[in-house]
Structure 1
Amino acid sequence: MATTQRIWFNGSLVTDPTQGIISPIDHGLVVGDGVFEALKVEAAGAFAVTRHLERLSRSAAALGLPEPDHDACRAGIDAVLAGREWELGKIRITLTGGAGPLGSGAAWGPGTLIVAAEAVDPPAPETRIITLPWTRNLSGAMTGVKTTSYGENVRGLAFAEERGATEGIFANTSGYLAEGTGSNIFLVFGDQVVTPPLTAGILDGVTRALVIRWWNEQAALEVVERDLSVVEAQQADEVFITSSTRDVQAVTSWDDHDFPAGDVTRAVAQCFAAGWQAELDPR
């Protein structure tokens, strides 16, 4: 997949992505002083650009970074997608504080803006998840912020993959179900779809929000956002996870519990697919 990568760095396409272009004192590298977004790319183009850029702005504000230039981000997206020979892919937008001290003091700037794209394989329709031994902080400064300080998620995903799963699920510091390392989780009880609320210390996922909106509109059954324990969640009839690169993915195994890829999950997946196909940039 590396041969499909295209990189746009601070306004220009990079001819050789393997060559160093980041300053060794860029604060995104030194202390994780940066934020990012990951968008899926379909044949028609990048999906939900406006929603992702709005969240990028919220994350930047939470970290004290300058407001990202949305027009520049869109120019970068256009540049990395121009002339592509693949349909399904991923875009990552990264914004950092730029050059700074070798510590936690504020970056000097100017900031760094990178837009990168690459082809990806279609997500599997089903997956296995496990519960992680670590918790999500309910009240940390970076709770719910999509920051480049992603070490906790890297460790969690590695822990899951070492045990034959593709995703690890966190509970939070209050003992309630939270989220995956890079996904949101939904439970099906009968015909009711339940997901942890944002107050559980989770990321406000773009796919999560659109699943809730489009399912509520189509099914006339509101998704219920409420706290629940992992034990209660594992009593669900069906489980699925969502993310920009997974869309709606059925969970067939969670720890020692098995689940069917059931009718409600399939209906939600179909609802989401119909939604993005009709509206590439939903507001």
Structure 2
Amino acid sequence: MSLVIWAEGRMVGAGEAVMSAVDHGITVGDGVFETCTVFDGRVFALTRHLARLARSAAGLGLEAPDEGKVRDGVAAVLQEGVRADGPFDGRLRITVTAGVGPLGSGRVEGAQTVVVAAQESVMAPESRSVRSPWPRNERSAVAGLKTTSYAENVVALAHAKAQGADETILPNTVGELCEGTGSNVFVERDGELVTPRLDSGALAGITRELLIEWGTEAGLPVREARVSELPFAVLDEVGDGGTHLVLTSSGRNVQPVTWLDGVDVAVGEISREARALFETLCRERIDP
């Protein structure tokens, strides 16, 4: 399925200009977004994604996005995609910017710009990751927010891809394990699957949240880390085979890491169980 785009109430082509050249989302990255998974033409966990979209907007000092308008855009691109090729699996992105503004960082309150796009895609079953040479700033004004100011992640991911990886895992400024450029990370060791605390600077991922909820419900030993439990150096243990890694995100679901810094690494048993559980429940519970 080709890219399907809805912008400000109408369907548009991929090459069609739909935003002002001085939209603050373009000039200074003043906006928020969500990337959702589409299963059989339906958006997974849309309610949770819209709640996080509103939290990110509040964190930037933007007015709450018009949820009705966003849902109209989501419905439009799904309908267009299904009409073209039938029910599809893929990704859907919701972007909300501050709208037309000045050339500098100062903001003029006004109408927001809303764009929704969808495209068919296939998730990879595993990840090849590297350690990032750059940290995530857990004390940043936008830590934990999903904003369109993404250049830091673009540079870090390009560095990873140049080494043959598809993701890079970042520490924070105090040497704790944090997250990937577009994913959360879980560490399997000592019979548990543990993910960094949100005060590490990590994004409150929807898949992360659901894996903790569903894993706990199913009796899997999955939880958030205790204070100082996961230093970045825990990655040194992965090559020995006793510690394992999993990435989670809307573009990955629950994805074991099978290659780290150029070395093949093993997948843990709990990691396999967590992936299987999520793959089943995400289609049975489309809007948990």
Question: What residue number does 1:55 align with?
Answer: 52
Q: Is the 8 A contact 1:27 1:107 kept in 2?
A: no
Q: What is the CA–CA distance in structure 2 between the aligned matches of 1:88 and 1:9, rounded to whole Å? A: 21
Comparing 188-197 with 49-58, greater Cα deviation is found at: 188-197
> SS state of the match for residue 134, structure 1?
coil
Residues 80-107 of structure 1: CA deviation (Å, up to 9, x unaligned): 0112415111110000010010001113
1:118 aligns with 2:119: yes
* Of 70, 74, 77, the match for 2:74: 77
Q: Is the 8 A contact 2:188 2:268 kept in 1?
A: no
Q: What is the CA–CA distance in structure 2 between the aligned matches of 1:221 and 1:185, rounded to whole Å? A: 15
Distance apart, 1:158 and its partner CA:
0.2
Q: What is the CA–CA distance in structure 2 between the aligned matches of 1:126 and 1:190, rounded to whole Å? A: 22
Q: What is the CA–CA distance in structure 2 between the aligned matches of 1:220 and 1:252, rounded to whole Å? A: 21
1:244 aligns with 2:225: no
Comparing 257-266 with 49-58, greater Cα deviation is found at: 257-266
> SS state of the match for residue 102, structure 2?
coil
Question: What residue number does 1:206 align with?
Answer: 206
Q: What is the CA–CA distance in structure 1 between the aligned matches of 2:165 and 2:220, rounded to whole Å? A: 33
Distance apart, 1:117 and its partner CA:
0.7
Distance apart, 1:262 and its partner CA:
3.0
Aligned residues: 278
Q: What is the CA–CA distance in structure 1 between the aligned matches of 2:59 and 2:151, rounded to whole Å? A: 19
1:36 aligns with 2:33: yes
Residues 245-280 of structure 1: CA deviation (Å, up to 9, x unaligned): 111111012225542123211100111122212210
> SS state of the match for residue 102, structure 1?
coil
Residues 106-144 of structure 1: CA deviation (Å, up to 9, x unaligned): 134211011111111x22212211111111111111000
Q: What is the CA–CA distance in structure 1 between the aligned matches of 2:220 and 2:169, rounded to whole Å? A: 29
Q: What is the CA–CA distance in structure 2 between the aligned matches of 1:239 and 1:139, rounded to whole Å? A: 25
Q: Is the 8 A contact 2:39 2:283 kept in 1?
A: no
Q: Is the 8 A contact 2:8 2:115 kept in 1?
A: yes
Q: What is the CA–CA distance in structure 1 between the aligned matches of 2:221 and 2:254, rounded to whole Å? A: 18
Percentage identity across aligned positions?
A: 44
Residues 192-221 of structure 1: CA deviation (Å, up to 9, x unaligned): 111100010010000010011100110253
Q: Gaps (5+ residues) in structure 1?
A: none
Letter of the structure 1 residue corresponding to residue 4 of structure 2:
R
Question: What residue number does 2:268 align with?
Answer: 262
> SS state of the match for residue 158, structure 1?
helix
Q: What is the CA–CA distance in structure 2 between the aligned matches of 1:38 and 1:169, rounded to whole Å? A: 19
Provide the aligned C-alpha RMSD in A. 1.4
Letter of the structure 1 residue corresponding to residue 253 of structure 2:
D
> SS state of the match for residue 4, structure 1?
coil
TM-score (norm: length of structure 2):
0.93
Letter of the structure 2 residue corresponding to residue 17 of structure 1:
A
Question: What residue number does 1:229 align with?
Answer: 231
Q: What is the CA–CA distance in structure 2 between the aligned matches of 1:130 and 1:191, rounded to whole Å? A: 24
Comparing 228-237 with 273-282, greater Cα deviation is found at: 228-237
Question: What residue number does 1:94 align with?
Answer: 95
Q: Is the 8 A contact 2:247 2:256 kept in 1?
A: yes
Question: What residue number does 2:172 align with?
Answer: 172
Q: Is the 8 A contact 1:126 1:261 kept in 2?
A: no
Q: Is the 8 A contact 2:184 2:249 kept in 1?
A: yes
Q: What is the CA–CA distance in structure 2 between the aligned matches of 1:155 and 1:198, rounded to whole Å? A: 23
Q: Is the 8 A contact 1:234 1:257 kept in 2?
A: no
Residues 220 and 59 of structure 1: CA distance in aligned 2, closer, same or farther (over 3 Å): same
Letter of the structure 2 residue corresponding to residue 12 of structure 1:
R
Q: Is the 8 A contact 2:99 2:110 kept in 1?
A: yes
1:140 aligns with 2:137: no
Q: Is the 8 A contact 2:9 2:73 kept in 1?
A: yes
Residues 112 and 60 of structure 1: CA distance in aligned 2, closer, same or farther (over 3 Å): same
Q: What is the CA–CA distance in structure 2 between the aligned matches of 1:243 and 1:184, rounded to whole Å? A: 6
Q: What is the CA–CA distance in structure 1 between the aligned matches of 2:263 and 2:194, rounded to whole Å? A: 18
After TM superposition, the structure 1 = structure 2 runs for residues 183-194 of structure 1, keeping only pairs within 5 Å, are: 183-194=183-194
Distance apart, 1:13 and its partner CA:
1.5
Residues 84 and 269 of structure 1: CA distance in aligned 2, closer, same or farther (over 3 Å): farther
* Of 5, 13, 18, the match for 1:7: 5
